[in-house]
Chain A
Amino acid sequence: MSQYDVVIIGGGPGGYNAAIRAGQLGLKVACVEKRETLGGTCLNVGCMPSKALLHASELYDAAMGKQFATLGIEVKPKLNLSQMMAQKADSVTQLTKGIEFLFKKNKADWIKGAGKITGPGKVEVTAADGTVQTLDAKHIVIATGSEPTPLPGVQIDGKRIVDSTGALSLPEVPKKLIVVGAGIIGLELGSVWRRLGAEVTVVEFLDRITPGMDTETAKTFQRTLTKQGIVFKLGAKVTGAVASKSGVKLTVEPVAGGEAETLEADYVLVAIGRRPYTEGLGLESVGVTTDKRGVIDTDHFKTAAAGVWAIGDAVHGPMLAHKAEEDAVACIELIAGKAGHVDYNLVPSVVYTAPEVAWVGKTEEQLKEAGVAYKVGKFPFTANSRAKINHETDGFAKILADAKTDEILGVHIIGPQAGELIGEYCVAMAFKAASEDIARTSHPHPTRSEAGRQAAMGVEGWTMQS
């Protein structure tokens, strides 16, 4: 039986960052992971492989379509799907090995097996071969993440009806793919297969795509995706799915009422969201409570049980790898007696489609609902020199600032590499910057970052380049 300062259950972005930070702070730490590799959903079947396919498929699409031809590059590309999958797997392997290296560097023990709390300070680990060991821990951190939310009436068979994990490894390019759920995951994976040649229809229960995204931005986003060939069926409810060897028949009816219809596709991706993975962890053995959806109740990562902490997707807040990473650092620092803190308002969101969508802070709808007087500065990429040069002019940058203090309250960018641009605003907002602070800061020319600066100028009405 081994004695640890901290035992972390789960080796995803929450767990592995917690382990690294604990090691840095001199705590004796173990991280329990039941997968054969570290990195959790994000590295193995989430962010990383999806980005590998998004990058590759975007280049393929550019070569196939008018983009390359416009630039004067004439090619006839041929898709090698197995190579595309292989390079994805190779990148993922390198990344998970990287985490192993970081564990060694920071003296964090990786315990392979499924972890379960059996009592205060006790974590039982069952390895793949059935051997069981118990770890003694002064502090237990639950970092078990989340899993895809199942859709009632639709059975994920992993062949024709798949979740996000399955959609990252389809054996062929579907002729017709139906994506259930117009959230970030569905639109990213839908984009991948659309670019590789599938006809993609997205079915969404709500009457809008990407709930949580600023509405104006979401409308522009939907228009852009539609232009690319994705078909949207909004306000539509999936009531059943029948899979055969060659395809799926999906029953869909309008949420507002009306005739049900049957859609046919050779593959269906169910991506209606994720739910905390907190069952079977022995939470009841120490009195840790969850809400109905399985979200663990915490107060600054402390659960109801002394010495048991929880972070990442298993607790409240956006289900994002970088949010789990923030939680991890703050939680371990609190355990080490430091002042860990996370400002969830400053956790950015990114959709890695083309164009990308990225935002941080409040949407216009949130500000209106809160009754905050705000000003808007907006700048289209059609007027940005770098975007123009690259023939990538879809989208805009929008900055929302307090009408009185000019403090930046929200930033919404839709355009190429929006995800790379948003970091500037995370820093700015952490420093309570005013839009004028951005407007009066030199940005390199020609870059897309200038669009943000011009939008910032627009808040006070002096946009110079449109």
Chain B
Amino acid sequence: MADIMTPALGESVTEATVARWTKKAGDAVRKDEILVELETDKVSLEVAAPADGVLSEILAAEGETVEPGTVLGKMAAGAAAAAAPAKTAAKAQAAPPPPVAAPAPAKAEAAKPAAPSAQRIAAESQLDLAKVAGSGKDGRVTKGDALAALEARAAAPAAAPAPAAPRELHQREERVRMTRLRQTIARRLKEAQNNAAMLTTFNEVDMSAVMALRNEYKDVFEKRHGVRLGFMSFFVKACIAALKQVPDVNAEIDGQDIIYKNHYDIGVAVGTEKGLVVPVIRDADDMSLAGVEKAIGAMGKKARDGQLALDDLQGGTFTISNGGVYGSLMSTPILNAPQSGILGMHKIQDRPMVVKGQVVIRPMMYLALSYDHRVVDGQGAVTFLVKVKDAIEDPQRLLLDL
């Protein structure tokens, strides 16, 4: 009998949710066949069968939270088991296996009762004594421990208020548990709004030059580099040029300090069926347009396939979000904390523009830069956006590093 364990989940990730079991208890499985999918704050991962055998028991039901090392289920291993039992197992279990009761998180021993005074404090102050380290006999929680825990709680920055009791569902409503990814997105977006002095400045850009360039070279570019020439690579390069001119936008606040980053790791928001993820194109300033396009293509594929590794998502210095692909004309993106700037790209739309006294039709895109006003002042933000606009309207500036 082999345990199916929750694997290590990566740096700073302490728990995962069991997303889906692809096998039922009693199923015969082959070595390396996927048994169960886990979802963490940042990535999904799959746990494969360690050997041929039969999945004998599922211990962590779907939706349950597990930690690295938690036993997810048990397998009866053995080559013999793998060969024949698919059918026998199915027959032997004419009735579906009884649902496995979710086991309580493995505790070394039953918790010792807390002192009556500690229980009173817990009841009056909604203190979870299970989370208080007890200093009394055999680890019992004393009144002093409970008071200290209250004090620590008061001293800590006000934690998120306890979630309200689930409200009653009305007819024609449906309650769906947020996926871990969605919970993380929600938490991080709100954190960014709470922490940063965030505001957005707008500009618009005439896409004629970039579109002309793209039309002229897209075939030969694709033939040469094996990747389509998109607009994103131009914006990545334009942003890097602007970041170099306005380093504040590439900085972050750390306590009383500002950390300036002399590297340009650009997060590119990618929509997947599960939600938005932001893989990072590292050292994008060292890449050619083709290099950027290739990197974006590779990340997008990984994201859609759920293959992103944690490293792919961490450590960006600036983010570009393109709501235009869904038709957004204007938006105010939220910062990807602890970054200080995010560029919002939008839909390209032909609009009448006045050029040299003449009304002409131009393919226009609104640009938005949300920034942390604690680091970036208004002049810097506007300069940044004008710099991006200039580079896109006249791509030769990128070539000449202007």
Contacts and interface: CB of A to CB of B under 8 A. Distances in A.
Q: Do A and B come from one complex?
A: yes
Interface in A400-450: 402, 404-407, 430-434, 436-437, 440-441
Interface residues of A, number: 14
B143 A437 contact: yes
Nearest to A406: B143
Interface in A375-420: 402, 404-407
B129 to A, nearest CB: 14
Interface in B99-153: 115-117, 120, 135-137, 140, 142-144, 147-148
A404 B116 contact: no
Contact of B144 (A406, A431, A440): A406
B117 A431 contact: no
Q: On chain B, which size bracket covers the interface?
A: 10 to 19
B137 A434 contact: no
A405 B144 contact: yes
Given A430-B137, A432-B136, A432-B137, A407 B116 contact: no
A434 B144 contact: yes
Contacts of B115: 431-434, 437
Nearest to A431: B137
Contact of B117 (A402, A404, A430, A440): A440
Contacts of B137: 430-432
A436 B354 CA distance: 81
Contact of A432 (B120, B144, B148): B144
A349 to B, nearest CB: 22
A437 B140 contact: no
A57 B112 CA distance: 47
Given A431-B136, A432-B137, A437 B117 contact: yes
B144 A436 contact: no
Given A404-B147, A405-B147, A436 B140 contact: no
- Residue among B116, B117, B147, B148 having the largest count of chain A Cβ atoms under 10 Å: B117
A441 B116 contact: yes
Contacts of B116: 436-437, 440-441
A234 B143 CA distance: 43
A125 B116 CA distance: 54
B140 A405 contact: no
B332 to A, nearest CB: 50
Contacts of A431: 115, 136-137, 140, 142
A407 B140 contact: no
Nearest to A440: B116
Nearest to B147: A405
A432 B147 CA distance: 14
- Residue among A405, A430, A434, A437 having the largest count of chain B Cβ atoms under 10 Å: A434
B144 A407 contact: yes
B236 to A, nearest CB: 58
Interface string A39-67: 00000000000000000000000000000
Interface of B: 115-117, 120, 135-137, 140, 142-144, 147-148
10 smallest CB-CB distances across A and B, nearest first, come from A405-B144, A434-B143, A436-B117, A432-B136, A434-B117, A432-B142, A440-B116, A431-B137, A437-B115, A406-B143
